[in-house]
A and B are shown apart, each in its own frame.
Chain A
Amino acid sequence: MTRLDNAGPSPAAGVSDGLDAHLVLDRGAFRLDVRLTVAPGEVLALLGPNGAGKTTSLRTLAGLTPLTDGHLRLDGRTLEEPALRRRVPTEDRPVGVIFQDYLLFPHLTALDNVAFGPRCHGVPKADARARAAELLARMGLTDHAGVKPRRLSGGQAQRVALARALATGPRLLLLDEPLAALDARARLDVRAELRRHLAAFEAVAVLVTHDPLDAMVLADRLVVIEHGRVVQEGTPAEIARRPRTDYIARLVGLNLYQGEADGHAVTLGHGVTVTTTERLTGPAFVAFPPSAVTLSPDRPDSSARNAWRAAITGLESHGDQIRVALTGLADGMPLTADLTAVSVAELGLHEGAQVWATVKAAQTHAYPA
């Protein structure tokens, strides 16, 4: 930061820079109640299943859906606070939005799409177009400046949408499923590129996604939303290592159980006891990857302490492995295991077959609930 910035005129600068939001929205059956604090330069991903309230959160941040309670402050300025009857309309908020299907204006060229925002902010036409041309050049789209959106590829349209959103110099950049409209190949390139642009963005960025990989690659911090509430928050590494809900565990590909810890043993709700390397007391989670599970036709020797008798409920190929879904016979505990195709063939596994499942204590991970 330069000295000039520190001597900035805003008395609130420094303390309340960035986004401070408590989004509350009552819509009869659905209630959204989400707190978000994001520092300038930080990229936050809202991750959650369909219908969790991710897109609704984004819409309230943009001012497209009014809050019913809570507050929304950006860089110390209150954009919305229903209790005070305060609400800045969308067009007066310093936000930029990249919509899931981009919503590029079909009748305008790429250049005029990008120049649209500055024009609305009173920038003279020539200046607005110059700024747009510069932004498109930064996105490597100079050759496509005169092209209408329908003639752009998905990746190009995404970059135009990004340029358009950045053209007004937003203090809050919102991205709704930024990669969902792309095919698998374009996704890879665009993700890397978007990551670069987001890293260079100096204000607050919030992106919504249901894809954990997108979230982990693009964001500095994740907020997981389920049923309109925040269920977990942390860095991608923390969340991947210590999931706290079944949804997150499934996303990051872990078996997750909740129970009561006492030393090295965690007693699960199903009555099963899992031995772990960590020492804990009180409510705890136990997580382990499907690859840590071994299946055998007979009861294994005693060195493996965590062994259950389980029935196979499903088989499905998962990369070069076969993912086996099981249900504990005694307790109905769900479990997934990854096996090679060879093992599946050798064990003669099929749906309905009964096997012994073993998990080594060294491969489990227990943490306080």
Chain B
Amino acid sequence: MTGSSRPSAAAGLPEFPDARPRRRLAGGRGGAPLPLLLPALIALVFLLLPLLALLIRAPWRSLPSQLTSSAVWQALRLSLQTATTATVVSLLFGVPLAWLLARTTFPGRKLVRALVTLPLVLPPVVGGVALLLALGRNGVVGRWLDSAFGITLPFTTSGVVVAETFVAMPFLVITVEGTLRAADARYEEAAATLGASRFTAFRRVTLPMIAPGVAAGAVLAWARALGEFGATITFAGSFPGRTQTMPLAVYLALQDDPAAAIALSLVLLAVSVAVLAGLRERWTAAA
């Protein structure tokens, strides 16, 4: 395999060094036909060019001072904290929801499944508006939360977590549900014959078996939460140290300090690449 010549198109790919030969663009039977190769190359350039521009225009000389500013770390820490919390919340509630969708039948299950995936396609800003109407100070539930418990979610760090969870949880639910459907439910039957209740069977048999899928879903949800912008700025605003996450900081910095915006973007890019690398390892380990 390694002896055959790689097509020149693949040579420019920023493939990971451990990419298998089977992932090559062309098979052993000559190169890719032009009508496929040309659009493919355009797509590739289109996807990579902005990232490349980010690297080219990065203020490398002033970068150390940019990155050591406390505002950057404040935003990064807040982003990591809220994204991680949103992922944990998504796991706690999303995995049971995925189980319900995959393993039980109830009237309207298909509709519920469609509604669960709605936030995937909903513009995040609309999600933010909807969250305000539901959980805002005068929202359907928010008013009651405020009067009964004195809990206010909008424009707080908790509000950021709520907004991120709303956008990120569907990714986890869909991934875990797919993994559950692919997993053999008869193992749960085997557990039942050994005296395991349905919950015990889930906890001790199903969950360990679908762990790779849950991990993949969690990483996807985390990445989505980390990059969340629209719902967060609508529902939680942009208060430095409280609700101003990295994406918001980048956007605001772009107005008056483009160099800072690029620096912040580079940090997010680095985090994303690290996550992608981790994800690849997970996926190849699970396969």
Contacts and interface: CB of A to CB of B under 8 A. Distances in A.
A120 B194 contact: yes
Interface in B172-195: 184, 186-187, 189-195
Contact of B196 (A93, A97, A120): A120
Nearest to B196: A120
Nearest to B209: A107
Contact of B190 (A89, A99, A168): A99
Given A105-B205, A106-B209, A107-B208, A117 B187 contact: no
Contacts of B192: 63-64, 89-91
Given A120-B200, A168-B194, A90 B208 contact: no
B194 A164 contact: yes
B197 interface: yes
A330 B196 CA distance: 63
Interface in A264-314: none
A116 B196 contact: yes
A117 B205 CA distance: 12
A157 to B, nearest CB: 13
A48 interface: no
B109 interface: no
Mostly helix, strand, loop or mixed at chain B's interface?
A: helix
B77 interface: no
Contacts of B200: 120
Contacts of B196: 91, 116, 120
Interface string A71-92: 0000000000000000001111
Interface string A31-43: 0000000000000
A23 interface: no
A100 B190 CA distance: 11
Given A116-B204, A120-B200, A103 B195 contact: no
Nearest to A167: B194
A350 interface: no
A289 B286 CA distance: 55
Contacts of B209: 105-107
A116 B208 CA distance: 14
A167 B193 CA distance: 12
A97 B187 CA distance: 12
Contacts of B191: 105, 116, 120
Contacts of B187: 103, 105
A122 to B, nearest CB: 9
Nearest to B208: A107
Interface in A199-236: none
B193 A97 contact: yes
A164 B194 CA distance: 8
Contacts of A165: 193-194
Contacts of A117: 194-195
A99 B204 CA distance: 19
Nearest to A64: B189
Query: Contact residue range for chain B?
Result: 10 to 19
B189 A90 contact: yes
Interface string A54-79: 00000000111000000000000000
A328 B141 CA distance: 84
Interface residues of A, number: 24
Given A105-B205, A107-B209, A116 B194 contact: yes
A44 interface: no
A167 B204 CA distance: 17
B186 A91 contact: no
Contacts of B184: 103
A63 B195 CA distance: 12
Interface string A158-199: 000000110110000000000000000000000000000000
B207 to A, nearest CB: 10
A155 interface: no
A366 B189 CA distance: 46
Contacts of A91: 192-197
Nearest to B211: A107
A104 to B, nearest CB: 8
Nearest to A117: B194
Contacts of A18: none
Contact of A95 (B193, B197, B204, B208): B193
A96 interface: yes
Contacts of A97: 190, 193
Contacts of B189: 64, 90, 103
A97 B204 CA distance: 18
A94 to B, nearest CB: 9
A121 interface: yes
A103 B188 CA distance: 9
B21 to A, nearest CB: 26
Contacts of A164: 194
A158 to B, nearest CB: 14
A297 B196 CA distance: 68
Contacts of A167: 194
Nearest to A99: B190
Contacts of B208: 105, 107
Contacts of A63: 192
Contacts of B194: 91, 96, 116-117, 120, 164-165, 167-168
A96 B204 contact: no
B30 to A, nearest CB: 39
Given A90-B192, A91-B197, A120-B191, 4 more contacts: A99-B190, A107-B208, A164-B194, A165-B194
24 contacts: A63-B192, A64-B192, A64-B193, A90-B189, A90-B193, A91-B193, A91-B194, A92-B195, A95-B193, A96-B193, A96-B194, A97-B190, A97-B193, A99-B186, A103-B184, A103-B187, A105-B208, A105-B209, A106-B209, A107-B208, A107-B209, A117-B195, A120-B191, A120-B200
